[in-house]
Amino acid sequence: MPTLSLGSNFPAEFKDAALALKNDGDISETVLTRFGWHIIKRIRIIPPITFEEHKTELKTKISRDGRSSKGRDALLAKIKKDYAFKEKIKARDDFYKLMDSSVFKGKWEASKAAKLNKTMFSLKDKIYTQQDFAKYIESHQTQRAAVDYKNFVNSMYQTFVAESCIAFEEGHLDTKYPEFKMLMDEYRDGILLFELTDKKVWSKAVKDTVGLKNYFEKNKDKFMWEERLDATIYTCADEKIAKTAKEMLKKKKTEKEILAALNKNSQLNISAETKLFQKGDNAILDKWIPEVTANKTMNEKIVFADIRKIMKAEHKLFNEARGLVTAEYQSFLEKEWLDSLRKKYSVQINKDVLSGIQ
On the 0-12 / 13-18 / 19+ scale of CB atoms within 10 A, 4 is middle
For 94, phi and psi rounded to 5 degrees?
A: -65, -20
- The more confidently predicted of residues 216 and 69 is 216
Mean pLDDT of 333-337: 93
Give the percent of the chain with pLDDT over 70: 98
3-state DSSP call for residue 34? coil
pLDDT digit string, tens, across residues 157-209: 999 999 999 999 999 988 888 898 899 889 999 999 999 999 999 998 889 99
pLDDT recorded at residue 358 = 64
The one-letter amino acid at 229 = L
Report yes or no: 285 and 231 within 8 Å, Cβ to Cβ: yes
pLDDT recorded at residue 66 = 65
Specify the pTM: 0.49
Q: How far is CA 174 from the centre of its chain?
A: 28
pLDDT recorded at residue 180 = 87
pLDDT recorded at residue 325 = 94
Domain definitions of the chain by residue range: 1-46, 83-171, 187-222+318-358, 227-312
Query: Could you tell me which residues are beta bridge partners of residue 307?
Result: 231, 291
The one-letter amino acid at 261 = A
Residue 355 region, left (φ>0) first, then alpha (ψ -120 to 50), else beta? alpha
Work out whether the CA dihedral 176, 178, 179, 183 comes out positive or negative: positive
3-state DSSP call for residue 65? coil
Give the C-alpha distances (Å, rounded to integers) separating 2 from 5, 9, 20, 43, 211: 10, 11, 17, 11, 68
pLDDT digit string, tens, across residues 26-57: 999 999 988 899 999 999 988 888 888 778 88
Measured distance CA(14)–CA(45) in Å, rounded: 16
Sequence-distant (6+) residues with CB within 8 A of 291 are: 307
pLDDT digit string, tens, across residues 99-134: 999 999 999 999 999 999 999 999 999 999 999 999
